[in-house]
A = this chain, B = another copy of it.
Amino acid sequence: MIKTPYLLFLGDAPDQLAAKVAQGVKDWRPNICLGQLKLPGCKADLNLKNYTLKEAKKEGAKTLVIGVANRGGKFSDSWKETLCNAIELDFDIASGLHNLLTEDKDLVNLSKLNNSDLIDVRKPKDDFPIGNGKKRTGKRCLTIGTDCSVGKMYSSLAIEKEMRSRGMKVSFRATGQTGILISGKGIPLDAIVADFMAGAVEILSPDNEEDHWDIIEGQGSLFHVSYSGVTMALIHGGQPDHIILCHEPTRTHMRGLPDFKLPTLEDLYEMVLPIAKISNPNCQISGICINTKNMEHYSREKLKIEIEETFRLPTVDPFIDGTKKIVDRLIQ
């Protein structure tokens, strides 16, 4: 578990989008975000109080979270001084970047001299067992997309939020870097060795109370040939009781694969259910989240009605509509 509260580091972000990770943490976990730290030239802002490291430390901040991505996903030299100062003040540092804090000798040496942990959420912390497929107690819901980056994490967090607002027992189970920084724990599934993927998902979502819900963040897509193996392991390791389909209707081809057409929701529905029933014969598809950020109001509403009629499933854009309709269905 990453220690809270966080101080969100925005570095010298060239624009707001570059601070997407910090924005996600702030949106979904505002109560653990003490404030933000910007370097000169930073063009992003989260409408949080600005702190120096010393001020934040005094207010109780425990972890400096790198909430900004550079080109190539690397941390830049211009950040180094700040990171070193943070370590000397006994901050932990958490990062989802490609180049690892724990491979930078200066940071590693400094952290050994201080009471500071370097946390690379892209690097699995533990060894995992081979999956055993044993039925686990508690409820599980998994988001599955027609493609990568269609809103699976967002949909999962929105369902978690709705359940929490109803006083239900619920855990968001992060499987990617941003999700781990947001929720403070999880497993970076795409970095796990193949043989142990399903076992890692079993560990991520262990036995729980019968009325407890794990909302498991989906990864990749069964239709994305680069990552479909990861999606498969999530389904079979996760043994979901419920699957929520996620879709971005305006996309013309699979992300990063110009020769691959996006599947329809029908295609996904038909493919995923027989696969999911292998690990959980009672699995059902219980809702559809569409990401309509690129659509006009009228066509968006029309599409939602069409999809609801076709599938007879609650259909929402979680960003616009929330997930109330889906959670109503899940607890039926």
Residues of A within 8 A of B (CB): 130-135, 189-195, 197-199, 222-223, 225-233, 236-237, 239, 256-257, 259-260, 270-271, 274-275, 278-279
Contacts and interface: CB of A to CB of B under 8 A. Distances in A.
A193 B195 contact: no
A194 B256 CA distance: 18
B133 A279 contact: no
Nearest to A263: B278
A285 B236 CA distance: 24
B232 A278 contact: no
A149 to B, nearest CB: 14
Contact of A229 (B191, B194, B259, B278): B194
Contacts of A231: 229, 232
A189 B198 contact: no
A259 B134 contact: yes
Given A193-B194, A194-B193, A233-B194, A130 B226 contact: yes
Interface centre among A135, A193, A223, A237 (most CB of B within 10 A): A193
25 contacts: A131-B225, A131-B226, A132-B256, A133-B225, A133-B226, A133-B259, A189-B194, A191-B194, A193-B194, A194-B197, A194-B229, A194-B230, A195-B230, A198-B225, A198-B226, A198-B228, A199-B226, A222-B232, A222-B275, A225-B236, A225-B239, A228-B233, A229-B233, A231-B232, A232-B232
A226 to B, nearest CB: 4
Nearest to A198: B226
B223 A278 contact: yes
